[in-house]
Amino acid sequence: MSHITLIRHGQANSLARDEISYDRLSPLGHEQAAWLGAHLEQSATQHTRLYTGTLRRHVETAQGMDTGLEPIRDARLNELEYFTLATLLEQQHAVPFPAEQGQFALHLPQVFDYWKAGKLEGPPESYESFEQRIQSVLHEIAEGDGPALVVTSGGLISMVMAQAMGLGIPAMSRIALAIMHTSMHRLYPIGGHWSPVLFNAVPHLDTPDRQSAQTHI
């Protein structure tokens, strides 16, 4: 099994309230992707494969990284539809969408809880389906040759980490909220299981002039 480095996409449209409007990089998001690509090249980090979801923000991030690798796009690496789920939660259970950033710490686990418990009618996919597609695509990537880069989203990364560590929704939600744009998260196969050996690493943003580029939303 090969090790896998998961990468969250660059900053997207943080003012969006729906999936389509959110799905494009901001000017800073493009810069973050380019800085990450330059870091990987300068550090001579060896990866032989590149995978992305099919969302625009995934594709733009991979293009901005300019790794020279031909990306393999797989819809199983796409993010959960948070805005859609949040709309269902509001319509069906009168839980409003956060009006400010600090409210997401309470809102996100509520979305996950209602979704997992089957209390949201008509979601785009079930919680179990989200879990299963992640497991299936990572298994296939792991069976390939050489270390792989995977450009995806924060919700998916938090689920991967929760699966690897046996964590519940409260901890998974805290992980999701902590993940920065273009951060790296590495998994190694140890003893037949995935073990996280890197989490939320942003060496390409860890300089005084780029502190403001360490974004979450």
Whether the per-residue pLDDT at 205 is higher than 80: the answer is yes
Q: Is residue 29 part of a domain?
A: yes
Dump the DSSP string for 53-114: -SSHHHHHHHHHH--SPPEEE-GGGSPP-HHHHHHHHHHHH--PPPSSGGGHHHHHHHHHHH
Domain that holds residue 66: 6-79+146-155+180-210
- Looking at the 3D structure of the chain, how many domains does it have? 1
Q: Is residue 26 part of a domain?
A: yes
Q: Is residue 165 part of a domain?
A: no
Band the pLDDT of 1: cuts 50, 70, 90: low
Q: Is residue 206 part of a domain?
A: yes
Arithmetic mean of pLDDT, 144-161 = 96
Q: Full-prediction pTM beyond 0.85? A: yes
Whether the per-residue pLDDT at 203 is higher than 80: the answer is yes
Q: Would you say 11 and 194 are in contact if contact means Cβ atoms under 8 Å apart?
A: no
Q: What is the CATH number of the domain that holds 185?
A: 3.40.50.1240
Q: Is residue 150 part of a domain?
A: yes
Q: Is residue 128 part of a domain?
A: no
Q: Is residue 11 part of a domain?
A: yes
Convert the pLDDT of each residue in 118-147 to its tens digit: 999 999 999 999 999 999 999 999 999 999
Dump the DSSP string for the chain: ---EEEEEPPPB-TT-SSHHHH-SB-HHHHHHHHHHHHHHHHTT----EEEE-SSHHHHHHHHHH--SPPEEE-GGGSPP-HHHHHHHHHHHH--PPPSSGGGHHHHHHHHHHHHHTT-SSS-SS-HHHHHHHHHHHHHHHHTSSS-EEEEE-HHHHHHHHHHHHT--HHHHHHHHHHPPTT-EEEEEEETTEEEEEEEEE-GGG-SGGGGGG----
Q: Is residue 33 part of a domain?
A: yes
